[in-house]
Amino acid sequence: MNSNINLNQLFYFSAVGRSGSYSRAAEELSVSQPDVYRSVKRLEKECGVKLLERHGKGVCLTQGGRALYEYAAQMASLKNLAEEAVAAQKGLMSGTVSIGASCAVASNLLPSMLGRWMDARPNVEVHVVLGQSEQLQDLLLKGAIDALIGSGLNWRPGLQRQVIFSDSVEVVCCSGHRLAGSGLISIKKLSRERLIVPPRGNGTRDELDQIEIQYGVRFKIALEVNRQEVIKRLCRAGLGIALLPRSVIDEEIANKQLCLLQVEGFPRTRLCFLVLRAGKVLAPEIRSLLAAVDSWASERQARQSLTRAPHPPGEKTFAVLNERVS
């Protein structure tokens, strides 16, 4: 590898690898698309390997790109954190940030997502508002909260969202359930089982409603519960089958408290979004938060060594250094 690689090339490559698109990376970095493209091509020449390849309407990482991305993402993350830490030490960062989130996001993601950011900004006050997606979207559109972190399929006009990571939704039961280890289960057969689900307005429930329409079935809802921890306990007790994100059941699967079921059409991809009101003028502390979430997402992706597929059509990333989200 040549020693002429510069940091900007790595930052640009990291943005393209994360977003799956030259245009979205350019928007995020507030530079032109040709600049990003030329920078990545120079980096490929310096490395002597192809880093990106076409994938549908976007690009994805090659094997060589995956090897480099882990380190490029970490360097981009450290750059953002260093800049924000210097600003905080100068006493430039203060104010209040209000974040809307589901109970699951607040308990499973926010501690790791915001921990370092809050430690470096003692003068920024963070308010977390818990609720279902529909309720939180109302608050965001009214300006009662600054941002929303969550998943869902039904989003209101006037909101702009950024994919921060993907998860998978699995079908699980207790280890003693009669379907445990039974092989592939059809959706029709699943519809005859008792399900433990969150109330409507939750991303998982929205997905279940879509499956009903897609397969022409009606699921038997035994229990409606709005907390994932309670759903897991009820499922472990054998009161029904549950649909849960893989990221919150790894421990129970490893300890054989819950059993993964092989169900037609599962696992299903679940996207988690950071959502803002479109056109909102961003205060410095909000821009700082967006940069921190981007850094967290990059580090998470690097740790898992995943290749992100291009964003679904219409999905955008935030230009976190801009004054306005457009």
Q: What is the average per-residue pLDDT within 265-276? A: 86
Tokens linked to 140: 């965001």
Where are the chain's structural domains?
A: 7-87, 94-164+279-304, 167-269
Is the domain spanning 94-164+279-304 CATH 3.40.190.10? The answer is yes
User: Is residue 323 over pLDDT 60?
Assistant: no
Answer with the residue of higher pLDDT: 235 or 227: 235
Amino acid 94: pLDDT? 62
Domain 7-87 fold: Arc Repressor Mutant, subunit A (1.10.10)
Q: How confident is the model at residue 2 (pLDDT cuts 50, 70, 90)?
A: low
Q: Count Cβ atoms within 10 A of the Cβ of residue 232 and give its class: 0-12 exposed, 13-18 middle, 19 or more buried.
A: buried
User: Is residue 83 over pLDDT 70?
Assistant: no
Domain 167-269 fold: D-Maltodextrin-Binding Protein; domain 2 (3.40.190)
Q: What is the average per-residue pLDDT within 66-92? A: 73
User: Helix or strand or coil: residue 311?
Assistant: coil
Amino acid 320: pLDDT? 36
Q: DSSP labels for 107-137?
A: HHTHHHHHHHHHHT-TTEEEEEEE--HHHHH
Q: How confident is the model at residue 187 (pLDDT cuts 50, 70, 90)?
A: very high
Beta-sheet pairing, 58-61 with 124-130: unpaired
Amino acid 311: pLDDT? 37
Decide: 116 and 88 in contact? Cβ < 8 Å.
Answer: no
Q: Count Cβ atoms within 10 A of the Cβ of residue 323 and give its class: 0-12 exposed, 13-18 middle, 19 or more buried.
A: exposed
Beta bridge partners of 242: 172, 196
User: Is residue 146 over pLDDT 70?
Assistant: yes
Amino acid 270: pLDDT? 79
| Among 21, 154, 112, 61, CA closest to 297 | 112
The per-residue pLDDT of the chain, averaged, comes to: 82
> Which residues are CB-neighbours of 112 under 8 A, at least 6 positions away?
296
Decide: 127 and 100 in contact? Cβ < 8 Å.
Answer: no
d(CA 73, CA 295): 8
Q: How confident is the model at residue 317 (pLDDT cuts 50, 70, 90)?
A: very low
Q: What is the average per-residue pLDDT within 299-308? A: 58
The pTM score is: 0.56
Q: Count Cβ atoms within 10 A of the Cβ of residue 127 and give its class: 0-12 exposed, 13-18 middle, 19 or more buried.
A: exposed
Q: How confident is the model at residue 178 (pLDDT cuts 50, 70, 90)?
A: very high
Q: What is the average per-residue pLDDT within 55-82? A: 84
| Among 157, 150, 145, 159, CA closest to 198 | 150
Amino acid 56: pLDDT? 81
Q: How confident is the model at residue 316 (pLDDT cuts 50, 70, 90)?
A: very low
Q: Residue 14 CB: number of other CB atoms within 10 A?
A: 27
Largest separation between any pair of C-alpha atoms in the chain: 63
> Which residues are CB-neighbours of 188 under 8 A, at least 6 positions away?
215, 217
Q: What is the average per-residue pLDDT within 61-65? A: 91
Amino acid 318: pLDDT? 38
User: Is residue 263 over pLDDT 50?
Assistant: yes
Answer with the residue of higher pLDDT: 178 or 96: 178
Q: What is the average per-residue pLDDT within 105-126? A: 81
